[in-house]
Amino acid sequence: MSDAADQIFATLKQSSQSGAPLYLQLRKSIEDAVNRGLIGPGDALPSERDIATKADISRVTVRKAVQDLVKGGILVQRHGSGTFVAPRMERVEQSLSRLTSFTEDMARRGMAVRSAWLDRGLYAPSPDEMMVLGLSSSELVARVARLRIADDTPLAIERASLSASVLPDPAGIGSSLYAALGVTGNRPVRAVQRISAANLGETDARLLEVPPGIAGLHIERISYLASGKVIEFTRSIYRGDAYDFVAELRLTGPSEEGRP
């Protein structure tokens, strides 16, 4: 067993007089070891049995401590291969004043972008889609749903809806929706974005490789053409531990006060 593991158990012995339940003491020892860098992102935790033997506690206690740390996003469990310290996220800083695409944002940071398709096709529009995109019930909506991945880390789930008259072949967009819209002169020039907090459900959490229930960001973007026509209605879930949205604020001068 590694030195780091030995140190975890040494700390555990020191704290065993504290009177706190054993699983909480073990949880804290492991958490401290991660925070102090004794075990780093991607490092394997010793097996449940090794921990139990070494610390002289039951496997049930070990499991409880480990499950708590998995729920908190400190450890990750991979079926068949064990428990590891969760990879540390490099937070992405995203300006809220420029209308850019995911592909452009990541390319500017030198990150390799790819997407996993969740859905693409033509459908009868939902009431929300009809209202936002101005579609009638006899028209079709093109849906493009993707898991967006940068440098092998899934960052967001994006579900875009556009009128089928603008995007008749959603399967043919290639790697960038905005690039495809640019080809037909339909790239948006303005957008309104609404950001709210969301706790991730099972399915979204699994796709984004985070524990269910963890904080995420729900983002709705409605984009417009220069003519004022709505072109895109996208609802996304972004990882809360990966994104900082940054907006620049200016004091309104007297000449601008009262402007709409």
Residues 6+ apart with CB under 8 A from 258: none
- Closer residue to ligand 16G in complex, CB, 59/117: 117
Between CA 147 and CA 31 the distance in angstroms is 30
CB of 35 to ligand 16G, least distance (A): 32
- Closer residue to ligand 16G in complex, CB, 27/143: 143
- Closer residue to ligand 16G in complex, CB, 20/192: 192
CB-hemisphere CA count at 13 Å for 236?
26
Between CA 14 and CA 3 the distance in angstroms is 17
CB of 212 to ligand 16G, least distance (A): 22
CB of 223 to ligand 16G, least distance (A): 7
Helix 48-55 vs helix 3-15: angle between axes, to the nearest 10 degrees? 50
CB of 165 to ligand 16G, least distance (A): 18
- Closer residue to ligand 16G in complex, CB, 24/107: 107
The structure tokens 């399915």 sit at 203
**Residue 216 near residue 237 (C-beta atoms within 8 A):** yes
- Closer residue to ligand 16G in complex, CB, 85/155: 155
Which residues contact ligand 16G by CB under 6 A? 101-103, 158, 160, 176-179, 219, 221, 232, 234, 236
Between CA 75 and CA 12 the distance in angstroms is 18
CB of 238 to ligand 16G, least distance (A): 7
